[in-house]
Amino acid sequence: MKNQYLVVVALLTVFLLGSVTTGWACKSAGPNTHVGRVTTIDAKAKTFTIQDAETNQPVTFVATGTILDELNVKDRVMVGYKEEKGRMVAVDIRS
């Protein structure tokens, strides 16, 4: 019984700490940076979308073919971007 309790406490601790760290990811990454998991890649439109780690909202970026070629759905990425004509243009991707 005591071992089950310790396992439950350990799992809850890991879950809660993981949630807190993910929530801080975008703010601590710096300005013009989003962190999240790639959910869609549209090569024709030259865009990709991530599920933002901080807000849990989708964020879509315009990107070059070179950047899109390096991405896969479900990749966890940090995206540096610039705003251009009302759109977020990815300029740096880190996995």
Model confidence pLDDT, tens digit, residues 4-35:
544 444 444 444 444 443 333 466 677 899 99
> For the chain, what is the domain count?
1
Confidence band (pLDDT; 50, 70, 90) for 59?
Answer: very high
pTM given for the model: 0.70
- CATH number, residue 38: 2.40.50.140
Phi, psi values for residue 64, rounded to 5°: -75, 165
Give the domain range for residue 31. 2-94
